[in-house]
Amino acid sequence: MTAFILVPGMCHGAWCFDGLAHSLRSAGHRVLAVTLTGVAERAHLLAGAVNLDTHITDVLAAVEAYAPKDDLVLVGHSYGGMVITGVADRIRERITSMVFVDAVVPQDGEACWDIVDEAEHAWYVKVDNTGFGVPPLPFFDPRATSHPLATLMQPLRLLRDHSRFRRTFVYALDWPGESPMRPSYERVRDDPAWQIHLLDGKHDLMRDKPDELLRILLDAAAD
């Protein structure tokens, strides 16, 4: 059996995938959406001690608890691309496919900070009153919370080859200015090992282009 593992971007919880998860389950798939430590309904959990390794461990623990024998399709939105890449590196034999939904695509030794643009940097450094969290932007879902800054600054260490995975990049075209995901898109767009999809929607493609995104995910899970 295949299970979809859905990892949200900054400041968001598993609830950002509610509609998509329902559609995937209706299509007969198992789905596990993960809220990361220190974010959303888990915002009370030691944000100052949370780094990228914490978030990778969150997903690994959820997989072990709820989908210990399933083949996995990892889906990461935005910052979630960092997390699913780290997860795939640790349980390579379990992964069928990876889908980066307008997400960062890291290489070994890179932090999220290294892959995004100066506008993102300006947002990251405007920390909240704790000094540890990046506050949600005004147009985010009301349930969004600050995001642990250290998760964006810690380099990701990769030890294994990811070329065996089916990898898909879904690029959102409707940004108000330059997309901070453009460097990641340019990194993969001419690579024949990647499937590339351009959708005329805003960054939150789960909300903006749910039907198109669902078709892409179902295709990523197909044999």
Instruction: Give the residue numbers marked as catalytic.
Output: 78
Count other C-beta atoms under 10 Å from residue 181's C-beta.
26
Q: How many CA atoms lie within 13 A of 195 on its CB side?
A: 14
User: What is the distance between the alpha carbons of residues 80 and 74, in angstroms, rounded to a whole number?
Assistant: 10
Residue 110: partners with Cβ closer than 8 Å, 6 or more residues away? 155, 156
Structure tokens at 141: 């879902």
In angstroms, the CA 45 to CA 37 distance is 6
